[in-house]
Structure 1
Amino acid sequence: MVRAGCIAALLLSAFPASADVPLVNEGKPEAVIVIADKPTRVARYAAEELVRHVEKASGVKLEVRAEGEAVTPLHPIYVGDSRAVREAGIQVETLAAEAFVLRVSDDAMFIVGQDGGGEPLESATSAGTLWGVYEWLDRDLHVRWLWPGELGTHVPKVSGVVAKSCDETIAPRFFQRRLRAGSGFASEHPALGFTTEAAKQFSEEQSVYLRRHRMGRSCPVSYGHAFTDWWEKDGKAHPEWFQLLESGKRGPNKKGGRFSMCVSNLELQREIVARWTAKRPADAATPGFINACENDILGLCTCEECRALDGAAPADYLKFYPPTSKMTGSRFVSDRYARFWLGIQQQAPAGATVIGYAYFNYFQAPTSGIKLNPNVLIGYCPSAGWFPRSDEEHAWMKQQWADWRATGARLFMRTNHLLDGYCMPFIFTHQFADEFHHAVEKGMVATDYDSLTGHWATQGPNLYTAARLHVRAKATADEVLAEYYAAFGVAAVAVKNYFNYWENYTTQSREKIGQTMEALQASRWRSWAKAAHVLYPLECFTPAEKLLGQALAAAGNDAEAAARVKFLQLGLEHARLCARVSARLTLAGSTAGKEEIKRAVDELIAFRRTHERSGIGNFNHLAWVEDLSWKLSEETRQAPDLYP
């Protein structure tokens, strides 16, 4: 029996030194995975992921051993911290949060990261070792995770597996990487959504997918609309903390209404710091973040002190907002909010970071020349700017980011644009990637996209690009899309033609989308299904069906490629069905009777029940949108497991 203290010496001396390390050769294992006797849950899961993907590539299942077990002279792959790792000079405690060492040399491989003690799939769990496994799978096995589930996991087949020589320490580019999972959508008509078990499967597979694209964070951070309950708690004692309306009243204009704060009030700023300090653990290891994000409403305070802080409105202040926008007629208030955040930050303990949103009538950067600093962190949260954009609007949106960055504040992406498009083949990949690249160039430190609605079979290029750029931030849209299409094998060109058709269709529909949403009073993120039949009339699906037919023919005997094309076909069939039902049931003018409503809904639900385990889309999200968009039968209020 050979114990852990001698493992490194024994295994490293078993083979002559070489640059690359063979792991599988001609169907036989050449390596063994070594983990600590008591590994973290992250390290154990990372080892399992490594085994799973190597086996999928080569057909060979590598063995996982604890370092205290007897060993044989195979190349060791050390996964996670262990005594042997420390003997090799890798000190995990010195690594930055979520960082990892990837070292391949001297006939051994080390994948060792800074790991937390939580569950591997929890976004708050530091998972450096897991990121190291995914980095190696990405580099040397060219694994691509197109969408959640087995079919979306592309692992090229190989006869041998070799780990290429390297020695790097790598940390995520952004301290938070977040695509909100979209698993919390709930509807008054749940029968339109998933059954209970299907919802669980969809959520679990998507959680795995998000971690494979390294979604997580390096430090605890919490924010959001910060003052939603303050009026109820403090309105009587401190009405001066709240917005002053033109009527002379403080607080909301009606009972239960939304309200903004009187951000010029210095006592309010002190109270925010005091409450944060009172809740802060005495042994907190990091300076921390103070949530100062305004409520989900425009900045509306009319008091003289707030108005005195305002800068001049930019000439293009309202240029890209529709006439029915909440922004119409609003006052430009970015300077008062910049001073609000700065005032809080200056009163806070050294190193603390104040978080605010660039939102509504404080979305454009201040014009008074105020300078902020890196301890002010701003979420870029436009209330317009939906894709596709005109070239002028796209340039304007990017300029707003650049102007906020010029104040000296740090910025993170906090847009709602991925909520757009319902389940239609609504493709805007190139503009999305261009905005992402611009943000990276101008200092983006984190992301928080709201939300991942998960319509993988119709919006795959958008979603893959959004995930992939978090790992390969400088990759062009075409480079990322080339990875995606390559997974369709000999059908790659035909699939590219298919999605090019839809991206061109989406781009050319820009004005029509805006006009239709205005005319039908439909929301881009909340009631899109009111307009689906207008924006995607049945005739637009015919060329797309033909293109996917060509892709399936091109796939030929490649079963995996054919299955992926059929996945896209299923998504297209579902989108076409939804557009047809939209025409019958839309709240924007439907005259459908009770029986017609029932027939249309039954047809849709039957399709979803048949295919709810396919992973083509998030049916719970669709039920939520449709609830706000269509006339629906009372029968659909039943639990999904009971209907039809």
Structure 2
Amino acid sequence: MKRRTDYNGNRDGGRSSGRFWWKVGGAAWVIWVAAAGVGRAGLYPEMKPPWTVWVKEGRPVATIVCTPPKSGTNPAEELNGWLKRITGTRLPVRTEPPANGPRVWLGGRGAWRRLQTSADALKLGPDGYVIRSVGDDLVIAGATNLGTLFGVSAFLEHYLGCRWFWPSETGIVVPKTRTLRVGRIDEVSRPDFAIRWIMRDAACARFNRLNVAVNEPDEFRIRWFVHTWCSLVPPARYWKEHPEYYAEAGGRRVDPTRPHVRVNLCTTNPDVVAAAVKTIDEQLAADPSIDMISVDPEDTQQFCDCPNCRKLRDPDAPYPARNTRLVFDFTKRIAERVRRRHPKLLIKTIAYHTYLAPPPFELPDNVVVQFCRFTCHNHFLGDPACPDNRYFNRYALGWSKVCRRIMFYEYYYKASWCGLPWPIVHMLRRDLPYLRQHGVVGVASQWSGNHANNGLGFYVASKLLWNVDLDVDLLLDDFYKKAYAEAAGPMRRYHERLERAMAESGLHVAQQRAFRQMWKLFTPELLRALRSDLAEAKRVVVDPGAAARVRLMENGLRYTELVADYLNTVARFVEKPGSQRWIGSASAVDMKAVAAACEPKVKAIEAFIRSPEGRYATAGLGPYVQRLLDSQTVAQSWYDPGDLARGRTLTKTQWLETHTQRFLKEPPSRAALWVYGNDLDWNRADGPEHRILARGRNGQSVLLGTLARPDRQGNRVNRAFIIRHIELDRLDTNRMVVTIENPPGGPTGSRIFAVYLMPDDQTSEDEATRLIEAEPKTVRRR
């Protein structure tokens, strides 16, 4: 693959002899380093002699030449802020060059005149930069002010040895010297990915050359993050007068203004397209700098059930294609109208769950599809041995046939992993080159401020998003040495032990309820070895900054130990040898005993999360962690890891096309339907969670009943329900089709495991539950 980064034709360069003062453990001494402090020759380009003095014994010698930008961060202030940390002083700043002394040119026309070239000639694009010596002067410039800022941070990182591993002071590493000499440099660089959005701290993200949400006018500006249909057609604005703009369910429009209700739009209504485009017009009028606007369905897989929308839905298709035509038909119509009004604006939409598959038509060239790969992050996308990624890779590759621009929505922090260590560097080093190889233009990721257990992954990803060819081994070597100083050896073992445990586990992580996966990964043996690594690190570390980072990692491990201890307690009740017949079945588990045993463990975890030590070492007490700390939920979900539906080669209705269906006995006039599932609810506000319908003789749906009922519910447990007195002469018994639907209107969900057409006898529902769980062959023979 062609490199996007040119280091003057020599990636490794020659070994330089930059002289630095490096403060360690309160003492300072002169050391000689290659490339002004990088961990090993070859990670970044190196300065070459002759050397120019910028600061001598704490007194400035060089001058910064920079015209302040009209808005955004001043590159001179950015550079001087870091030079103050390094040398204790700042360089003087002028808008016109002084006659004598070395000059540091930062962006603007003067810098380009000094270089005698242009950003276009160097093909920098909006984010690229040049760092080039011209005699004793140094020029740092980009096509934009943000490009110049990226050049400043690259100079600080590549040549002066500064690092910003993660937000907060513990992530910052700065060498100390009273005399600063700078050698000759010639570096031109541009990013491998055009859209880079994986941090939420603007200053740290900008230093690491990410370009979304960095509080700069030249950034790639995205309006809204995800799940935006109701932002485009706001219910507060339209619901009262136009309920027809919102999804229909059960013959009525669902009220999107109710609390905790997720409702999609009626996408085939042309007035809905007009309303969405009107909102986009308003957004652009308020902020013409917007580059891309999100047009994403809400976070529910329930879509409008009106006759026109139903024509674009494919309930018999594999799971990832069931709503593909409906979602991307809407995207296409919006994009076509927007293109005529705002030709430079990009329309972003997500490919996710029931619309993960590409549609059977091309999308306009102003559409960006953001592919959501929500598992597995233990293996890279192109790994043929990983069933999860075989599934995702198949659909991801298919998108290039219908859409010009593809970006990825990633999970470099996975909320359902609940803030535990997420060692994915072994995946990232293969994944990001693979994405670039297949033309992916950008990556956005979920984010967490849990630097202890997620910081290294985000740091490595930020570097690879700029340059996928970066040597990850050298990058990690540099990280261990700069982050941990004297404790580099044991901390290398700590991080590599986590990576190795994840890689060798073979786990496909992480789905929505990954409790058993967590328990299997964080074994007592692994935790003891990690604790030993940290104990040695604490014993040998001297540098105060490195000691603070070791303490941060220890806090992350302490949280992990508390969660592992809690999961071990749950496992004593629910872990069973062999495979389980029914996922979620916990009829033999005493939930009160589980809760009693877990209560002190849960309190200990909550206390740690709320403590100062937990601030940067946990994921807080968000919804996923609250689910983790509900012992009944963990027990019920122990063998139910999540919601990845890979689709089927044949759906039931497709299978029936090639298989003759016949009754083993003469069918009676009446029958009963047994439905066995998990978490089938009923509540006073919304009523039953599901409706059960069958196809009638005239082809129309016939309502058979509901799941659940006021007198029988199945909240968080497996339970059978019986729909009695079904008159078979009303139904199409030649091709029996039963539909169990979850109408839109709320975040609830359930799992259906078995449906049986049975004699209409007096079997109780509790007895049906027992028979299905204990004697399924008996049930099938009745």
Change (3 A) 1:395 1:601: closer
Task: Measure the CA separation in 2 of the matches of 1:571 and 1:282.
Answer: 43
Instruction: Decide which of 83, 106, 112 is 1:79's aligned counterpart.
Output: 106
Task: Measure the CA separation in 2 of the matches of 1:41 and 1:88.
Answer: 24
Instruction: Decide which of 330, 334, 337 is 1:347's aligned counterpart.
Output: 337
Deviation at 1:428, TM superposition (A): 2.0
Q: Is the 8 A contact 2:562 2:605 kept in 1?
A: no
Task: Measure the CA separation in 1 of the matches of 2:538 and 2:600.
Answer: 35
In structure 2, stretches of 5+ residues that fail to align are 1-47, 213-218, 572-590, 632-782
TM-score (norm 2): 0.59
Q: Is the 8 A contact 2:418 2:625 kept in 1?
A: no
Task: Measure the CA separation in 2 of the matches of 1:112 and 1:444.
Answer: 27
1:401 aligns to 2:396 (yes or no): yes
Deviation at 1:583, TM superposition (A): 6.7
Task: Measure the CA separation in 1 of the matches of 2:63 and 2:203.
Answer: 21
1:358 aligns to 2:351 (yes or no): yes
Deviation at 1:356, TM superposition (A): 1.2
1:258 aligns to 2:262 (yes or no): yes
Task: Measure the CA separation in 1 of the matches of 2:238 and 2:536.
Answer: 65
Of Structure 1 and Structure 2, the greater strand share is in 2
Q: Is the 8 A contact 1:140 1:164 kept in 2?
A: no
Change (3 A) 1:435 1:252: farther
List per-residue Cα deviations over 1:201-221 (Å, max 9, x = no partner): xxxxx5432221123333432
Task: Measure the CA separation in 2 of the matches of 1:266 and 1:605.
Answer: 49
Deviation at 1:432, TM superposition (A): 3.3
Change (3 A) 1:385 1:577: closer
Counterpart residue type for residue 347 of structure 2: V
Which residue of structure 1 aligns with residue 459 of structure 2?
A: 464
Task: Measure the CA separation in 2 of the matches of 1:457 and 1:275.
Answer: 41
Which residue of structure 1 aligns with residue 160 of structure 2?
A: 141
Taking every aligned residue pair, what percent have the same amino acid on both sides?
A: 19
Q: Is the 8 A contact 1:537 1:579 kept in 2?
A: yes
List per-residue Cα deviations over 1:97-145 (Å, max 9, x = no partner): 4454433212211223455xxxxxxxxxx62322111111232234332
Q: Is the 8 A contact 2:376 2:388 kept in 1?
A: yes
Q: Is the 8 A contact 2:193 2:466 kept in 1?
A: no
Instruction: Decide which of 539, 550, 558 is 1:565's aligned counterpart.
Output: 550
Instruction: Decide which of 207, 224, 236 is 1:212's aligned counterpart.
Output: 207
Instruction: Decide which of 437, 441, 452 is 1:441's aligned counterpart.
Output: 437
Q: Is the 8 A contact 1:178 1:448 kept in 2?
A: yes
Task: Measure the CA separation in 1 of the matches of 2:273 and 2:626.
Answer: 41
1:455 aligns to 2:445 (yes or no): no
Deviation at 1:237, TM superposition (A): 4.8
Q: Is the 8 A contact 2:247 2:265 kept in 1?
A: yes
Which residue of structure 1 aligns with residue 227 of structure 2?
A: 225
Change (3 A) 1:601 1:61: same
Of Structure 1 and Structure 2, the greater helix share is in 1
Deviation at 1:76, TM superposition (A): 0.8
Deviation at 1:162, TM superposition (A): 2.0
Task: Measure the CA separation in 2 of the matches of 1:602 and 1:258.
Answer: 29
List per-residue Cα deviations over 1:469-522 (Å, max 9, x = no partner): 2332333544443332232346444333222221232345555977xx7xxxx6
Q: Is the 8 A contact 1:261 1:299 kept in 2?
A: no
Deviation at 1:407, TM superposition (A): 1.4
1:577-596 superposed matches below 5 A: 577-580=562-565, 590-592=594-596, 596=600
Change (3 A) 1:270 1:60: closer
Deviation at 1:77, TM superposition (A): 0.8
Q: Is the 8 A contact 1:372 1:408 kept in 2?
A: yes
TM-score (norm 1): 0.70
Task: Measure the CA separation in 2 of the matches of 1:588 and 1:135.
Answer: 57
In structure 1, stretches of 5+ residues that fail to align are 1-17, 116-125, 182-205, 319-326, 633-644
Which residue of structure 2 aligns with residue 164 of structure 1?
A: 184
Change (3 A) 1:578 1:310: closer
Deviation at 1:377, TM superposition (A): 0.9
Task: Measure the CA separation in 1 of the matches of 2:626 and 2:268.
Answer: 41
SS at structure 1 position matched to 2:441? strand
Which residue of structure 2 aligns with residue 418 of structure 1?
A: 413
Task: Measure the CA separation in 2 of the matches of 1:250 and 1:227.
Answer: 16
CA RMSD in angstroms comes to 4.3
Which residue of structure 1 aligns with residue 303 of structure 2?
A: 300
Change (3 A) 1:395 1:164: farther
Q: Is the 8 A contact 2:268 2:308 kept in 1?
A: yes
SS at structure 1 position matched to 2:534? helix
Larger radius of gyration: 2
Q: Is the 8 A contact 1:243 1:250 kept in 2?
A: yes
Q: Is the 8 A contact 1:21 1:109 kept in 2?
A: no
Residue-pair matches, total = 543
Q: Which has the higher contact order (CA 8 A, sep 6+)?
A: 1
Which residue of structure 1 aligns with residue 680 of structure 2?
A: none
Task: Measure the CA separation in 1 of the matches of 2:153 and 2:469.
Answer: 18
Deviation at 1:39, TM superposition (A): 5.4
Counterpart residue type for residue 171 of structure 2: G
Which residue of structure 1 aligns with residue 362 of structure 2?
A: 371
Which residue of structure 1 aligns with residue 533 of structure 2?
A: 547
1:269 aligns to 2:273 (yes or no): yes
